[in-house]
């Protein structure tokens, strides 16, 4: 966590004696207010076709505007990560996955409006709708949420080099693609 996350005043009593303790919480020496800087939960959905083409959205806002990301976002209060994955996919693409399967998770850093958020990103896979033969056909059906999505892209991911050449918004997505690729090859070998 950087110093840009430091409060200038205690949000409870207004004291200037608020301190960031071990980059873990804020503590006010005057009133005893303490606030933990807990990790935020986020989700992403990997949707791919049988040719190794993966669906990405082009981000419409910072951080990393214009870079590629999976459909996804932050988990809402009182929502499971599975529910969030389905909701975020529906909101951002206009298509609701019929089911999602857990793939992996990775820590991430998400800087937004000069605040650094530490997240735990949970990634899921989802199948194409039964009436859609491939990612390119799916893209024709998508309706991106304008505030979140500039457009959609199909990127063929068949190797680590393909992952490294893809302009991904977040490092956790690259690590996820490596897990997805490893699982893909393990399934095809059996």
Per-residue pLDDT reduced to its tens digit, 40-98: 999 999 999 999 999 999 999 999 999 999 999 999 999 999 999 999 999 999 998 87
Cα separation, 83 vs 79, in Å, equals 6
pLDDT above 60 for 189: no
Instruction: Name residue 25's beta-bridge partners.
Output: 21, 36
Nearest to 20, CA basis, from 32, 5, 30, 40:
5
What pLDDT digit, counting tens, does each position of 113-164 carry?
Answer: 888 889 999 999 999 888 899 999 999 999 988 899 999 999 999 999 999 9
Q: What is the number of alpha carbons within 13 Å of residue 4 lying toward its C-beta?
A: 8
User: Which pLDDT does position 114 carry in this prediction?
Assistant: 81
In the chain, which ranges are continuous DSSP H helix?
81-93, 135-141, 160-165, 171-189
User: Which pLDDT does position 164 carry in this prediction?
Assistant: 97
Sign of the CA dihedral with 84 first, then 55, 97, and 127 last = negative
Count CB-CB contacts under 10 A for residue 77. 4
Nearest to 98, CA basis, from 127, 71, 122:
127
Burial 55-64 (b: 16+ CB within 10 A, else e): bbbbbbeeee
């Amino acid at each position: 966590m950087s110093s840009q996350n430091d409060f200038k005043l205690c949000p409870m009593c207004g004291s200037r004696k608020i301190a960031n303790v071990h980059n873990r919480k804020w503590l006010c020496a005057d009133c005893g207010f303490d606030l933990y800087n807990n990790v935020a939960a986020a989700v992403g959905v990997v949707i791919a076709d049988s040719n190794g083409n993966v669906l990405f959205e082009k981000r419409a806002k910072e951080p990393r505007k214009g870079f590629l990301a999976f459909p996804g976002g932050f988990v809402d209060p009182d929502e499971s990560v599975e529910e969030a994955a389905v909701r975020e996919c529906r909101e951002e693409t206009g298509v609701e996955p019929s089911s999602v399967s857990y793939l992996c998770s990775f820590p991430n850093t998400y800087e937004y409006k000069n605040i650094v958020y530490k997240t735990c990103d949970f990634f899921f896979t989802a199948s194409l709708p039964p009436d859609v033969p491939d990612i390119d056909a799916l893209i024709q059906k998508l309706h991106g949420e304008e505030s979140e999505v500039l457009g959609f892209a199909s990127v063929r991911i068949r190797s680590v080099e393909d992952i490294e050449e893809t302009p991904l918004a977040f490092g956790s997505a690259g690590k996820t693609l490596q897990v997805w690729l490893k699982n893909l090859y393990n399934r095809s070998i059996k």
